[in-house]
Amino acid sequence: MYLEGRAPRGSSFPAKKSVLAEVSSKLFFYFKCMSQAKQNIRVQKYIVGVALLLFVLKMIAWYLTQSVAILTDGLESIVNVVSGFIGLYSLRFSSKPRDSNHPYGHGKIEFISAGIEGTLITLAGLWIIIEAIGSFINPKPLQSLDAGIILVAVSGGINFLFGTWAYKTGTKNNSLALQASGRHLQTDTYTTLGIVAGLILIRFTGVLWIDGAVAFIFALFIMHMGFRILREAVAGIMDESDEQLLAEMVATLQANREPNWIDLHNLRIIKYGRILHVDCHLTVPWYLNVKEAHNEVKKLEQQIARKFGKRIELFVHTDYCLEFSCPLCTVKDCRVRKHPFAKKKTWTVQNVSPNEKHQW
């Protein structure tokens, strides 16, 4: 048994090969993150260009038809342009490597970007409601509906394609800013489809108040989506716990649990953009030396990396076991056991989150 931090006689320090392997792994992770960041920025650039193009198309459609529904769709496109530039800035900023002023990186800027975008979407919905009520009370005759319908339908199809691309890329690269941009474009597509349907009804029925009614209904939908994006952004800024992610992580560790992992507690996850920082306390047998305890931590890191990839930074504090840990300890043939093994403690989100060791 070894209580000090020095290696016992006959033992060897980690080989240079393992050190090189660890350095290579960290370099691979760094360049992979940089590649993902560049991909996110490239997609966001396309989104900004598409937002400008669609804004022009919708303004032409509004000028031809004088439809308040199309006008509201065009006003929402202004939000697309502004939020597109905000998203592009946040992705550029979040891709910067960590520095002395930002030791955890710049990923939090993505939450701020998503929050601004969610706020703009919600405000656009309020503005559309005001315009829709005015149109509903005093409907105006519409013109050139056929041309307007075609232009708006084309813009909706383009929005859907680029929105789906952006959202999938953001999900794959764990970028909240890009996901928000993608969902924003998808939301714009749904409202555009509703507006097209309303214009077709007006085209064949001549009932003008449908224009304002359609705009009002989809304004409520826009506000709902804006609130959802804003809610997720605030949750990220406030470091709200991701219960689903936490449950998946605990289940992975429980399924691949090692005998020397006597106890796990004080498990926390913090999101910094696409990077996840995980803190936890791992209880191991008190007689393990520093190297042996470190090997147990490496095993835990490897289990998490297999499940969640290299986007997780893990900080593990090792605790030594106490006498009350014996009934929960599954180490076989332990020479210093004070109490017989009683029952294995199943790890759950509820019992690994508190900052206290498990007791029988």
pLDDT of 89 over the 90 cut: no
The DSSP code for 328 is G
Tokens of 37: 């960041």
What are the sequence ranges of the domains in the chain? 17-237, 242-352
* Mean per-residue pLDDT, 66-84: 76
Whole-number Å distance between alpha carbons of 207 and 60: 23
What percent helix, strand, coil does the chain show, rounded to 5?
Answer: 65, 10, 25
Percentage of residues in the chain having pLDDT higher than 70:
81
Q: Which residues have C-beta within 8 Å of that of residue 232, sequence separation ≥ 6?
A: 114, 118, 176
Per the listing, tokens 């960041």 go with: 37
Architecture of domain 242-352: 2-Layer Sandwich (3.30)
More confident position, 244 or 349: 349
**Mean pLDDT score across all residues of the chain:** 79
pLDDT of 213 over the 90 cut: no
Per residue in 265-318, pLDDT (tens digit) is 998 877 766 667 788 999 999 999 999 999 999 999 888 888 877 667 788 999
More confident position, 266 or 114: 266
**pLDDT at res. 260:** 93
Dihedral angle over CA of 90, 96, 102, 104, nearest 10:
90
Strand partners, 276: 271, 312
CATH number of the structural domain 17-237: 1.20.1510.10
> For residues 282 and 297, is the Cβ–Cβ distance under 8 A?
yes
Q: 333 — alpha (psi -120 to 50), left (phi > 0) or beta?
A: left
pLDDT of 115 over the 50 cut: yes
CA distance to 19, 31, 61, 192, per residue, from 35 (Å): 24, 6, 39, 34
Pairing of strands 275-284, 312-320: parallel
Percentage of residues in the chain having pLDDT higher than 90:
15
> For residues 233 and 177, is the Cβ–Cβ distance under 8 A?
no
